[in-house]
Amino acid sequence: MTKMSRSRADRFKGHDEFEGFKDNYHSDFWKYPNELEEHWYYLSGSEQKVLDFILRQTFGFRKSSDWISLSQFVNGVGEKNHGTGLSISQVRRAITGLEEKGFIIVERHKNSTSKFFLTGK
């Protein structure tokens, strides 16, 4: 853990813990979760971008989880989705931060794509 991320993690101790996302993936569209409104200040810019990407790949396609590669975070998926605009190292740090803060759960598979879950109630 870097010096910066350690101090960021210390900032969150004693604050309201993020309680998870409501089941939002069963409709014909997805709305940005209101649950985040009180928690945005916890996130760095890269964490917000990565979380938005995960939200789009899950809630946006009415799924509770998705297999997402690091290259998809960086380069996007398909013609219209251009990714986060972050480097692989920035994406890795953002994923670690989101896990530490309780926004996501990552199921890692050696030498393979990881499966991303949004924390839920």
Q: What single letter denotes the amino acid at residue 69?
A: S
Per the structure, the count of domains in the chain is 1
Confidence (pLDDT) at 61: 84
Q: Say how many C-beta atoms besides its own lie within 10 A of residue 79's C-beta.
A: 6
Confidence (pLDDT) at 57: 92
Can you give the CATH number for the domain in which 97 is found?
1.10.10.10
Task: Give the 3-state DSSP-derived string for the chain, with helices as H, strands as E and coil as C.
Answer: CCHHHHHHHHHHCCCCCCCCECCCCCCCCCCCCHHHCCCHHHCCHHHHHHHHHHHHHHHHHCCCEEEECHHHHHHCCCCCCCCCCCCHHHHHHHHHHHHHCCCEEEECCCCCCEEEEECEC
Tokens of 52: 């938005």
Contact 50, 73 (CB under 8 A): yes
Confidence (pLDDT) at 22: 64
> Considering the entire predicted model, what is its pTM?
0.73
Confidence (pLDDT) at 6: 47
Per-residue pLDDT of the chain in tens (121 residues, 90 and over written 9): 444 444 445 545 555 666 666 665 555 556 677 777 777 888 999 999 999 999 989 988 888 899 999 999 999 988 888 899 999 999 999 999 999 999 999 999 888 899 999 987 5
Contact 56, 81 (CB under 8 A): yes
Domain of residue 27: give its range. Answer: 3-10+18-118
